[in-house]
């Protein structure tokens, strides 16, 4: 009888402790977790998925439509969206999917292949768009926390976090030009993330995710973003219509060629007059 009482008392004590342990308050989020949640809540609606249809030709020159995916960032209330040039390159049609799942046709505003940037636009009457504010890439530091939001593998909006691994990196684009001063990060960037924002801990865009270095094509912790200061300069030019579809380096090249032709012409004319 004594042993039964002891057993019952002990069992009761275990049950009571377990009850309060299970029904007690859950562990609160850390400050870093709360920051991640808040940034995703605020910035998520400003990130869009972009589907493009490109027509390729097979061996017999028959047209074959191919669909590509990427991400983009809403940059103003007028519906302008910045993304990577390689996301929309040669696209016959563009479709933008907002965070709420609604789909809208998009038109091309302009491209800058040398910087792998492009601006497209959607027209949504009587609708408030979430705009992601642009920060500055001038004072970035290695070790600074960054967050990436995008559409990896077409899975929909996904948040990954990491740090700035290095600054001032240079990568050669598909056009053969070199993008300089890229931000290197270990935040997971996979196919489909291209064109999405790289954010700081205040929720400001500090870059546009563009490429990864990987032997398999999947993320291995070496991703790159175009600094937002370059993005701002290119976006202003493309929206204003100045030098549409031409990169700065391309314009400089043509200017130098024209100068050489002009000087050669002057030299030939001078020789003829002297003779």
pLDDT in tens, 119-157: 999 998 777 899 999 999 999 999 999 999 988 766 778
| Residues 63 and 113 grouped into a single domain | yes
| Residues 64 and 98 grouped into a single domain | yes
| Residues 182 and 98 grouped into a single domain | no
Matching residue, tokens 């004072």: 139
With contact defined as beta carbons under 8 Å apart, do 81 and 122 qualify? yes
| Residues 155 and 215 grouped into a single domain | yes
The helix/strand/coil state of 57 is: strand
Residue 253 pLDDT exceeds 60: yes
Q: Is residue 233 classed exposed, middle or buried when 0-12, 13-18 and 19+ CB atoms within 10 A define those classes?
A: middle
The pLDDT value recorded for residue 250 is 63
pLDDT in tens, 61-107: 445 555 678 999 999 999 999 999 999 988 889 999 998 889 999 99
The pLDDT value recorded for residue 215 is 56
Nearest to 219 by CA among 150, 136, 171: 150
| Residues 58 and 100 grouped into a single domain | yes
Query: Domain residues for 253?
Result: 247-274
Q: Which of 89, 122, 155 is the last residue of a domain?
A: 122
Within-domain flag for 12: no
Nearest to 80 by CA among 123, 109, 121, 128: 121
pTM listed for this prediction: 0.74
If one counts the domains in the chain, the total is 3
Within-domain flag for 191: yes
22-36, 158-172, 174-188, 243-257: least confidently modelled range: 243-257
Within-domain flag for 6: no
Which residues does the annotation mark as catalytic? 86, 116, 194
With contact defined as beta carbons under 8 Å apart, do 50 and 70 qualify? yes
- Looking at residue 151, which CATH number applies to its domain? 2.40.10.10
Nearest to 196 by CA among 90, 95, 49, 77: 49
Question: Phi and psi dihedrals of 193, rounded to 5?
Answer: -80, -15
Within-domain flag for 30: no
Within-domain flag for 221: yes
Residue 55 pLDDT exceeds 90: no
With contact defined as beta carbons under 8 Å apart, do 180 and 227 qualify? no
Within-domain flag for 85: yes
Residues 18-28 have a mean pLDDT of 54
Distance between CA atoms of 35 and 190, rounded to whole angstroms? Answer: 23
């Amino acid at each position: 009888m004594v042993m039964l009482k002891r057993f019952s008392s002990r069992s009761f004590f275990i049950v009571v402790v377990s009850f309060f342990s299970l029904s007690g308050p859950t562990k609160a989020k850390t400050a870093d977790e709360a920051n991640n949640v808040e940034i995703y809540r605020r910035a998520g609606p400003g990130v869009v998925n972009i589907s493009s249809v490109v027509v390729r030709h097979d061996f017999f020159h028959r047209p074959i439509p191919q669909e590509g995916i990427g991400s983009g960032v809403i940059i103003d209330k007028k519906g302008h969206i910045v993304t990577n040039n390689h996301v929309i390159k040669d696209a016959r049609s563009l479709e933008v999917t907002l965070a709420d799942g609604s789909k809208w046709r998009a038109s091309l505003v302009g491209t800058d292949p040398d910087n792998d940037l492009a601006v497209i636009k959607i027209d949504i009457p009587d609708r408030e768009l979430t705009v992601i504010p642009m920060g500055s890439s001038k004072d970035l530091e290695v070790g600074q926390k960054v967050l990436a939001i995008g559409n990896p593998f077409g899975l929909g909006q996904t948040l990954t976090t990491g740090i700035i691994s290095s600054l001032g990196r240079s990568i050669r684009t598909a056009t053969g030009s070199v993008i300089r001063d890229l931000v290197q990060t270990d935040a997971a960037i996979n196919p489909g993330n291209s064109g999405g924002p790289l954010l700081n801990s205040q929720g400001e865009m500090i870059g546009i995710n563009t490429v990864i270095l990987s032997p398999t094509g999947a993320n291995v912790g070496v991703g790159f973003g175009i600094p937002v200061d370059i993005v701002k300069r290119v976006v202003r030019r493309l929206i204003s219509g100045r030098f549409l579809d031409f990169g700065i380096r391309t314009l400089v090249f043509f200017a130098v060629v024209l100068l050489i032709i002009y000087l050669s012409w002057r030299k030939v004319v001078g020789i003829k007059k002297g003779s």
